[in-house]
């Protein structure tokens, strides 16, 4: 079984009217390909394009959330995950578990009441920033010397109180260390890779990886070729390299998958869409990971986070 903690399918559904409940010839994810890929748990992120970040961010986010609710109404194969018990219920029912995440805190438009309303609509995770600056802090393309804002501090604390997963992918390093100090629960990097293997601004240093592990968090390996290999010509073996690197550095208990499917234009050779996840499992076996370690990496680690944080 597979947990994939990041995709941008709702963004494509809202922008192009794509129906994820039927087989698509474009993109990377639909219910048919998720089932073929043994993905029993998919996190659906909402992403607001930069031109809407200062205007209509909340409205755009609501439209993407509605796309998931439309899919749930149309198909009997999806269960929305609101708490840890829902994971087991989805398994028992043979449904794909779907968790809502916001990619970039600009969606709450500087207002904690909007954060709480998104929570009431089912959102259970949020990346604090995309790559640019917002009211919470700076992304990797923003100010390097600026940390989490005073408002950002209140966001992290409120997410901890509500039972929402704090996600530091895209956040700049200064802000990252602020989250380490602020967050009193495990946090994640839903779709990031290892800077030692590929020196990209979006990737994590060894020190950051260790800090996430020290907080009992999880890192989801991103399939974007530019994050996997500096020349951008990545294969499935490069994804496995990043998984193996984290497992050796801090343990198999702190790494999983965050594909970024439908948010990347190019995919690694051998991982063209969600149906290819079983090849990753076979690759882990070939590299000597035992069944217990593979269970942790494929689904157990992120399920642990969800059951610990979601009320």
Percent over 90 (pLDDT), the chain:
98
CB atoms within 10 A of CB 135: 17
Would you tell me the crossing angle of helices 277-286 and 236-249 to the nearest 10 degrees?
Answer: 50
Whether the pLDDT of residue 135 is over 90: the answer is yes
Least confident of 50-59, 84-93, 285-294: 50-59
pLDDT of residue 2: 98
Q: Residue 253: which H helix or E strand, with range?
A: none
pTM of the complete model? 0.98
Mean pLDDT of the chain: 97
- Torsion sign over Cα 101, 106, 112, 113: negative
**Domains of the chain by residue range:** 2-309
pLDDT of residue 54: 87
CATH entry, 2-309, from 3.20.20.140, 3.40.50.720, 3.40.720.10, 3.10.310.30: 3.20.20.140
Report d(CA 235, CA 237) in Å as an integer. 5
Residues in CB range of 193: below 8 A, 6 or more apart: 200, 202, 203, 204, 221, 222, 224, 227, 228, 242
pLDDT of residue 141: 96
Percent over 70 (pLDDT), the chain:
100
**Token match 């990043």: residue?**
242
pLDDT band per the 50, 70, 90 thresholds, residue 270: very high
pLDDT of residue 281: 98
Average pLDDT over residues 132-149: 96
Residue among 220, 219, 231, 218 nearest 268 (CA): 231
Average pLDDT over residues 59-77: 98
């Amino acid at each position: 079984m597979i947990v994939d903690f990041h995709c941008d399918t709702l963004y494509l559904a809202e922008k192009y009217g794509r129906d994820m409940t039927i087989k698509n010839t474009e993109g990377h994810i639909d219910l048919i390909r998720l089932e073929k890929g043994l993905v029993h748990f998919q996190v659906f992120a909402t992403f607001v394009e930069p031109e809407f970040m200062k205007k209509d961010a909340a409205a755009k986010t609501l439209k993407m959330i509605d796309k998931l609710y439309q899919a749930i109404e149309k198909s009997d194969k999806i269960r929305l995950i609101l708490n840890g018990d829902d994971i087991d219920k989805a398994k028992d029912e043979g449904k794909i578990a779907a968790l809502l995440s916001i990619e970039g805190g600009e969606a709450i438009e500087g207002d904690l009441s909007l954060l709480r309303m998104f929570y009431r609509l089912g959102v259970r995770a949020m990346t604090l920033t995309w790559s640019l600056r917002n009211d919470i802090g700076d992304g990797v393309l923003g100010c390097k010397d600026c940390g989490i804002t005073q408002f950002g501090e209140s966001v992290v604390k409120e997410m901890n109180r509500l039972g929402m997963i704090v996600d530091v992918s895209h956040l700049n390093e200064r802000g990252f260390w602020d989250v380490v100090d602020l967050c009193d629960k495990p946090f994640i990097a839903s779709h990031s890779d290892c800077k030692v293997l590929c020196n990209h601004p979006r990737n994590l240093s060894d020190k950051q990886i260790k800090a996430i592990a020290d907080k009992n968090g999880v890192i989801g390996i991103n399939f974007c070729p530019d994050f996997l290999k500096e020349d951008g010509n990545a294969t499935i073996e490069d994804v496995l390299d990043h998984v193996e690197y984290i497992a050796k550095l801090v343990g198999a208990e702190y790494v999983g998958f965050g594909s970024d499917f439908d948010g990347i234009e190019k995919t690694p050779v051998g991982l063209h869409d969600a149906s290819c996840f079983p090849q990753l499992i076979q690759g882990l076996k070939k590299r000597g990971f035992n069944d217990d370690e593979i269970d942790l990496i494929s689904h157990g680690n992120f399920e642990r986070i969800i059951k610990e944080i979601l009320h």
